[in-house]
Amino acid sequence: MATLELRNVNKSYGSGLADTLKHIDIAIDSGEFLILVGPSGCGKSTLMNCIAGLEGISGGAILVDGADISGMSPKDRDIAMVFQSYALYPTMTVRDNIAFGLKMRKLAPAAIDEEVARVAKLLQIEHLLSRKPGQLSGGQQQRVAMGRALARRPKIYLFDEPLSNLDAKLRVEMRTEIKLMHQRLKTTTVYVTHDQIEAMTLGDKVAVMKDGVIQQFGTPREIYNDPANLFVASFIGSPPMNFIPLRLQRRDGQLFALLDSGQARCELPLGAMEVGFENREVILGIRPEQIQMAVAGASGPSSIRAEVEVIEPTGPDTLVFVSLNQTKVCCRLAPDDAPRVGQTLELQFDPSKVLLFDAQSGERLLPGKPQTAEQASKVAQFKGR
């Protein structure tokens, strides 16, 4: 196990070109599972390659257990990597694929056999040791690729989108196996994915990336409940957060968000907030599970009538779409509460769960919550426009 720290890491492929990685600062403790998540082209695989030593960095430092490894060759970093393409040797058996790295390190044959047996038992592939990769399914090949990395007992494991080539059912099974493996071994792990479900279920810490910049770094719960900006809020969550454009209004020192369904209007109370935010263009964000059907006869200032336009049954939930402020809004309801298309519902909002974002910059605004110095600065910039 080892700590991993990235200090102001930058990566550029030449003068005059935009930086692929920009001022990356991340630190994880020994044994933690870090997820790098973001859309294609955001720089997450490049960052993974820089940690592995397959690509050099243009600035900053990469530290393992406090020692700078930025200038080391890959073989000296004591880091094992599982590639998206598995990268197995097609002419070798499963046994030889797992043992290959150990042979390169000139371990004794008895030690190699013992390590291969240990890894094969851990991954439940003992019956596959004499086969070649072409005789294996995608999930079996993935296990062999993982076994090759596990056999080395490195300080850090790197996984570069290891499940992207698997079907949906097998992805879920392998995701569970990877989590169980980490719980057993407790080895520091960095895992790259574009799948936010993998990010939320696997990681101790999550770094959300866009255009080579860390948009937010924290626990899955922090990123889900308190996204730093519009991009993080939209990327994390399935189905995604609803975003409703509107202007804030103030009355008697309280702010309100005006919602219009075409059938009714609702002044959603947002609580107290500093003067200067009213009459500003903002984006109201609320997750589908935070909009529920109101109890019969319990309509109030946080409820609104709206007509059902689309229904999507998913099994455990039913997604219901209505129109608010001329924007499609998704509500996640229990199957027993499923309405019909054209039916009018009384929907209840939880004002404490509502998030506000600056319509221009996408930065988060925090009504009624304590603010850090950085957040207060962003609010001041917003008000000064």
Let me know: does 2 contact 174? Beta carbons within 8 Å. no
pLDDT of residue 385: 40
In whole angstroms, give the CA distance from residue 317 to residue 246: 28
**φ, ψ for residue 135, nearest 5 deg:** -100, 10
pLDDT of residue 371: 40
In whole angstroms, give the CA distance from residue 117 to residue 86: 20
Let me know: does 193 contact 34? Beta carbons within 8 Å. no
Does an H or E element contain 380, and which? helix 373-383
Q: What type of residue sits at position 251?
A: R
CA within 13 Å, CB half, 228 = 17
Tell me the two tokens of residue 26.
């991340």
- CATH code for the domain defined by 242-383: 2.40.50.140
pLDDT of residue 281: 81
pLDDT digits (tens), the chain, 385 positions: 799 999 999 999 877 677 899 999 999 999 999 999 999 999 999 999 999 999 999 999 999 999 999 999 998 999 999 888 888 999 999 999 999 989 988 899 999 999 999 989 888 899 999 999 999 988 889 889 888 988 888 999 999 988 887 788 878 888 888 898 889 889 999 999 988 889 999 999 999 999 999 999 999 999 999 999 999 999 998 899 999 998 888 877 778 888 888 888 888 887 765 556 666 788 999 999 999 888 765 556 678 899 999 999 988 899 999 999 999 999 999 888 788 999 999 998 888 888 999 888 899 986 544 344 444 454 444 444 4
Domain map (residue ranges) of the chain: 4-235, 242-383
What kind of fold does domain 4-235 have according to CATH?
Answer: Rossmann fold (3.40.50)
Residue 107 CB contacts under 8 Å (≥ 6 apart), including other chains: 115
Q: Count of CB atoms within 10 A of residue 380's CB?
A: 11
pLDDT of residue 373: 45
In whole angstroms, give the CA distance from residue 296 to residue 302: 14
- CA distance from start to end of the chain: 49
